[in-house]
Structures are given as structure tokens and as C-alpha cells.
Amino acid sequence: MREAQDHEMPNVLMLPPFYFKGVSDEGLFQAWSEVLRRSGQGPLHIHVYDFPAFVGFPLSAELQARLHREFPDRIVGMKDSSGNFEKMVEVIDAAPGFRVFAGTEALLLDILKAGGAGCISATVNVTAPAAAAVWRCWQAGDIAGAEKAQAQLTDLRIALQAFGMVPGMKALLNRAFPDRIGPTIRPPLLALPTAERDKLFAAMDAAGLNLD
């Protein structure tokens, strides 16, 4: 976090400490408090990262509301990668002013309708134009247009995640920008075999992929 401040990066995602399982909300609250104490007082906004599939446990709405209540200028939002939309709405209701982002663009319009802030998603590296179309329609009050754009955005996300999101993104970006993005991927993830790349490209093109 100090590095982020030194490089004038205004926002960070923060996972909970996850080596120990079954810890209490109080223990997690104290962990966040201690990190904040050590991170200095610079202008840095922290977004809680709720990712139970990787961490091993979910974060309660009560904990996130308390974090925002106790540190309103520092802990300002969250990314929910659980896929549990009801839980996202619970956090929105429990913590007024807390910026709730869905972890998948497939829920972008739903979270906006519920009073959330949007989405933070790795796959927006390739679906950004479609996600932007949803956002523009929403901002303009064009709900029908937003729903149509969301349908295409969801199709793109579903098609991409079927092939493994990170290898799939790398293959698509390499195809679109071969002079800037190479085919190599960092282990332990592996690049898609040629046959799988071809299937991915066909599926994404059929879903309307546009990286212009």
C-alpha cells in the first residue's frame, strides 16, 4: 500500500488474511485495522476483495459495513467475486455509501440497478467495449438499450470463461495486438493449445467480440 501511495495509485484491492480458516469477524477487523495503521495516511482508497473460492471463506456483510463505518475515508468499497448477487445486495443495504462492485461483468447491469457501483473484472481487458456500452446506456437512462448491451456482454463473458479466463484473454489479446502482446503466459497457467484457441476465437467472434 505504501508503494501504491508512492506511485500515486489511488485505489487498491485487499484480500483478507486467509491462511487460517474459521477466524472471527473481530479477528479480520483487527487485521485490516493493523494494515491501515501501518500503511500511512496518504490518499489511498481500499476496496475489500471478497473472493471465497480462492480465500476459502466469505466475508460477512456486517464486517464490511463495520470496516466502512470505522474507516469511511479509507475503506470505500468492495469487489465481490463470490457470484452471490443476494450477498452483494445485502452489503449495499448494510453499508450506505459503500461502493459495491460485482466481480463479473455478467452482473454489471444488475448491480447498477441495485445501487452498486459497477464491476471490477479481469475479463474486461477484452470485453471493455461491450461493458462500456452497458454503462453509457445506463447513464443515459436507456434501460432497454442497457439490457440489450448486457445480453451481449454476458454472452462474451460466458464464452470466454469456458476456455479459462486468463489463458483465453492472453490468446485474444495476442491475436488483436501481436506487436504488443506475445503468446507467453506465466506458469502455472498454460497457453491454450492451437485447437482450443481456434474454438475460443470462433466462440468470441460469434458473440460479437470487438477490441477496436
Q: Which band of pLDDT confidence, cut at 50, 70 and 90, is reported for residue 66?
A: very high
Q: Rounded CA gap, 35 and 14, in Å? A: 10
User: Which are the contacts of 194, defined by CB distance < 8 A and separation ≥ 6?
Assistant: none
> What's the number of domains the chain is made of?
2
Task: Among 63, 87, 121, identify where a domain stops.
Answer: 121
CATH code for position 105 = 3.20.20.70
Task: Among 121, 144, 176, identify where a domain stops.
Answer: 121
Per-residue model confidence as pLDDT tens digits over 86-111 = 999 999 999 999 999 999 999 999 99
* Residue 42 clears pLDDT 80, i.e. is over it: no
Per-residue model confidence as pLDDT tens digits over 174-198 = 999 999 999 889 999 999 999 999 9
Task: Among 121, 153, 177, identify where a domain stops.
Answer: 121
101, 33: one domain? yes
12, 43: one domain? yes
Q: What is the pTM of this model?
A: 0.92
Per-residue model confidence as pLDDT tens digits over 117-174 = 999 999 999 999 999 999 999 999 999 999 999 999 999 999 999 999 999 999 999 9
7, 35: one domain? yes
User: Which are the contacts of 126, defined by CB distance < 8 A and separation ≥ 6?
Assistant: 156, 160, 169, 172, 173, 204, 209, 211
Average pLDDT, the chain: 94
4, 39: one domain? yes
Q: Which band of pLDDT confidence, cut at 50, 70 and 90, is reported for residue 1?
A: confident
102, 57: one domain? yes
35, 98: one domain? yes
> Which structural domain range is residue 210 located in?
127-212
48, 134: one domain? no
Which residue would you say has higher pLDDT here, 1 or 77?
A: 77
137, 115: one domain? no
Residue 74 Cα to chain centre, angstroms: 19
User: Which are the contacts of 37, defined by CB distance < 8 A and separation ≥ 6?
Assistant: none
What pLDDT is recorded for position 8? Answer: 87
